[in-house]
Amino acid sequence: MQYTEIMVRYGELSTKGKNRKDFIRQLGKNVRHVLHDFDNLTVSAKRDRLHVTLNGDDSDAVIDRLKDVFGIENFSPSLKVEKNMDDVKKTVVDMVKSQFKDGMTFKIDTRRQDKNFPLDTHDINDALGGCVIDNVKGIKAKMKNPDITIRVEVRMNGIFLSSETIQGAGGLPVGTGGRATMMLSGGIDSPVAAYMGMKRGVKLDMVHFYSPPYTSQQALAKAKELTSKLTRFGGNIQFIQVPFTEIQEEIKQKVPEGYLMTIQRRMMLRIAAALTLSRHCKGVFTGESLGQVASQTLESMMAINDVTTVPVLKPLLSLDKTEIIKVAKKIDTYDLSILPFEDCCTVFTPPAPKTKPNLEKTRECEKLIDVEGLMKRSLDNVKVMDIKPGEEFLNSQEDVFAELL
């Protein structure tokens, strides 16, 4: 069915008292971003509900997008009908028929905003209910838990009919929980961690380290494409690409092999923390999970986190890999994440990194490299771009396969 409007009900935000206005404004902005490529529709975020007026845009496609936006409890696609009971009756019967199967029950549930409409809610329920019984053979009315509920809203500008309530993504609108950076690799975990941070309303700026020529253009494009996938939960995302080649080469040349990985991670976190502060963000998210690999033991975390007092947030800390993969599949990042383009960490991973690095020894090893100079040169060359929903970065399939061969 081609609907005329989608009526969106707010999620958790309705409980947030004085912040309510900001929450609604932010959700309106996020929905506009997520639907930016629909030319005709308009979004209006009101106190109780948000309305997407389709003006002829494809309702199925819009419904698909709205399902992912954080801060939406549920929504109902509706049809606008002129304030004329004959038209309303005809449309209600069509709506019921499109869902009716033998033995089903129904109910008409009317609300009236326009108090001047000649019929009150009882009259409307009676008139429409009678009409459905006369025209849909075998259907019965039932007030408690009916199979089909037709909601009728008599507003000033028309009568709106809806029968479906579609579950939204829940969570909080992205941006209402402050802003942080996210260390995004091309792997499975960090996009899932980003999704979880965004679900709690945090706006994330993606920080991606790349090391040409050791890592390819396709690896960088993959990180951008993952970012694009994540925009559907709350709109545009800033992507910050940070050159890491010189840092890795110097570490490889000067640092004892057992500490290569720890020092690399310290440099990554230092740069991410510097970007966090310069961009007025309030924390760094990572995709680490406790005990998963050498860099993710408590000892390693202590040796790495030593470089900053900026909060380092790890939403996946206690998840098993199988649980992480399940979410990655659900949010459609898994297939992209497993494309085998080298990440800068894997390229320079020593065969036997220390799983329990000693903090003092780590600090000593780091004195062998020019921390300040390396950081400055890397930060001077970061590139920032704004990624929008639907943008694609991995070229044509042929290019991807050419690289895989």
Ligand X SMILES: Nc1ncnc2c1ncn2[C@@H]1O[C@H](COP(=O)(O)OP(=O)(O)OP(=O)(O)O)[C@@H](O)[C@H]1O
**Can you say which residues are annotated as belonging to the binding site for ATP?**
183-184, 208-209, 265, 287, 296
Is 62 or 268 the residue whose CB approaches ligand X more closely? Answer: 268
Q: How does DSSP classify residue 38?
A: -
183 binds ligand X (CB under 6 A): yes
286 binds ligand X (CB under 6 A): yes
Is 125 or 262 the residue whose CB approaches ligand X more closely? Answer: 262
What is d(CA 350, CA 309) in angstroms, rounded to the nearest whole number?
A: 28
Residue of this chain nearest to ligand X (CB atom)? 187
User: What count of other Cβ atoms lies within 10 Å of the Cβ of residue 310?
Assistant: 21
Closest approach, Cβ 354 to ligand X, in A, equals 14
Q: Give the pairing of strands 383-387 and 237-243.
A: antiparallel
Residues in contact with 140: Cβ distance below 8 Å, sequence separation at least 6, in sequence order: 105, 106, 133
Q: What is the DSSP string of 305-325?
A: HTT--S-EE-TTTT--HHHHH
In a 10 Å sphere around its CB, with 0-12 CB exposed, 13-18 middle and 19+ buried, how is residue 123 labelled?
middle
Spell out, one character per residue from 327 to 366, where the chain touches ligand X: x when CB under 6 A holds, - when not: ----------------xxx---------------------
234 binds ligand X (CB under 6 A): no
302 binds ligand X (CB under 6 A): no
184 binds ligand X (CB under 6 A): yes
**Which of 200, 13, 142, 166 lies closest to 78, judged by CA?**
166
Binding range to ligand X, per CB under 6 A, among 139-147, 148-156, 184-192, 300-308: 184-192
Spell out, one character per residue from 69 to 98, where the chain touches ligand X: x when CB under 6 A holds, - when not: ------------------------------
Question: 5, 189, 205, 250: which one contacts ligand X (CB under 6 A)?
Answer: 189
CB 8 within 8 A of CB 72: yes
Residues that bind ligand X (CB under 6 A): 183-185, 187-190, 207-209, 286-288, 292-293, 295, 343-345
